[in-house]
Amino acid sequence: MFKSTAFLALLSLVPTLVSAQQPLYAQCGGIGWSGGTTCVSGATCQKLNDYYSQCLPGSATTPTTTPTTTPTTTPTTSVPTGTTTPAAGNPYTGYTIYLTPYYADEVKAAAALISDATQKAKALKVANIPTFTWFDVIAKTSTLGTYLADASAKGKASGQKYLVQIVVYDLPDRDCAALASNGEFSIANDGLNKYYGYIDQLVAQIKKYPDVRVVAVIEPDSLANLVTNLNVAKCSGAQTAYKTGTIYALKQLNSVGVYMYLDAGHAGWLGWPANLTPAAQLFAQLYRDAGSPPFVRGLATNVANYNALSASSPDPVTQGNSNYDEIHYINALAPALSSGGFPAHFIVDQGRSGVQNIRSAWGDWCNVKGAGFGMRPTLNTGSSLIDAIVWIKPGGECDGTSNTSSPRYDAHCGLSDAAPNAPEAGTWFQSYFETLVKNANPAL
Ligand SMILES: *[C@@H]1O[C@H](CO)[C@@H](O)[C@H](O)[C@H]1NC(C)=O
């Protein structure tokens, strides 16, 4: 499957000269890293971004090669003439959600480190709960083909229809209002063209597996930042690139029948009454500019956040906002979307929303202490506006480092309500995972 398999096999024969081998989930490379670069047996050093390589379970499943060709694609101005037409209604109905082996492997390896038998058994259950797979660097895109092939084979073997959940997350100058999740592409360094290449790579693989349905969350935080953070220079500077890149993603993914939900922040962000109308207008404008792609199904809310779908009472930190949970936010946003011609359907992340009233401020987003896994993914949502409750953030993967010397340190990750000793964003945070398991609500 991977062109690099032979190369990796060869690498493993090279004698290890570096002194100590790094333990599972430890850092093993990155800019400024001078420690060990090899991992203990059973783990492989994998590059997650320029700043961080990590020892992950198993042999290398993430190709370490990067594309050698610079993508030269420019956006098409016409709507793609794909032959696919979306089925009316909820894209999840009638489909089995594919369990991504990457997360399942992370969870199984994490469970193996838990000594308490009860907690270990609970942790292992998480491996069977579907989460989204984040394509946050171009180097990971080739793994999508592997997952799609696997889902296709499972579908053929079982007679079930499979659905793969992905997060599209690689806009240039990403995470413009924070530091922890800065991406690999910069606008100054031809990042928009590189982003087109990233989208093209996803599309090329999806095209090969028309029997597998793909649901995508499009670019967490990006459009929400354009609604509220244009006072931040990096956000205003990224405005055109974010819009152009998003329109390209919507058109191209539509052409291969990917059901899309644009990220819409959460109740404590775009849910403030003053932000609802500007947000709805931005979503509707981009949708029209992309040619009203029929596979754009709606919006994803609460991605990687901690808000309840329906809080029993407002968390004190939400004071002043009548939309104090996701259902209030969604009910308030839907009419504004509909009047702008945007499809008002939603999916809601509840992966880490099991415990409420744990934040000192509503805007705190980084590894919030005391969080627990939340409602299990379900189509039984209690609202005709909500297609599915989903787990979008893979619980246990870190939001951002608490190391104040790291170039990607964001002050939110050093707050008193943020868990200490946090590794870099996207890498495994064992103690945080163990707390999510222990505090799960409903219990695992
Ligand atoms: C914190 O980050 C700096 C700079 O990347 C690094 O040299 C140092 O080893 C890190 N400290 C820990 C405890 O990881």
The tens digit of pLDDT for each residue in 179-208 reads 877 899 999 999 999 999 999 999 999 999
Instruction: Name the residue with higher pLDDT: 336 or 20.
Output: 336
Catalytic residue among 150, 170, 173, 175: 175
Rg of the chain on CA atoms, in Å: 21
Which band of pLDDT confidence, cut at 50, 70 and 90, is reported for residue 411?
very high
Tell me: pLDDT of 4 over 50: no
* pLDDT mean over 134-143: 96
Catalytic residue among 263, 349, 364, 399: 399
The residue written with tokens 């997650």 in the block is 48
- Mind listing the pLDDT tens digit for each residue in 14-69? 333 335 788 877 788 887 777 888 888 888 888 776 777 888 877 654 333 333 33
- Mind listing the pLDDT tens digit for each residue in 252-270? 999 999 999 999 999 999 9
Q: Which residues touch 5 (CB under 8 Å, ≥6 apart)?
A: none
Pairwise CA distance, residues 49 & 54, whole Å: 10
Of 248, 264, 285, the C-alpha closest to 392 is 264
Which band of pLDDT confidence, cut at 50, 70 and 90, is reported for residue 87?
confident
Instruction: Name the residue with higher pLDDT: 119 or 78.
Output: 119
Q: Which residues touch 102 (CB under 8 Å, ≥6 apart)?
A: 61, 62, 133, 143
Of 262, 328, 329, the C-alpha closest to 293 is 262
In the annotation, is 175 catalytic?
Answer: yes
- Mind listing the pLDDT tens digit for each residue in 91-118? 999 999 999 999 999 999 999 999 999 9
The residue written with tokens 């971004």 in the block is 49
| Token couple for 317 | 């930190």
Task: Report the percent of the chain where pLDDT is more than 70.
Answer: 89
Tell me if 275 sits within 8 A of 227, measured CB to CB.
yes
- Mind listing the pLDDT tens digit for each residue in 204-225? 999 999 999 999 999 999 999 9
Q: Which of 405, 409, 413, 427 to mutate to test the pocket of ligand 1 (most atoms within 8 A of CB)?
A: 405
In the annotation, is 190 catalytic?
Answer: no
In the annotation, is 325 catalytic?
Answer: no
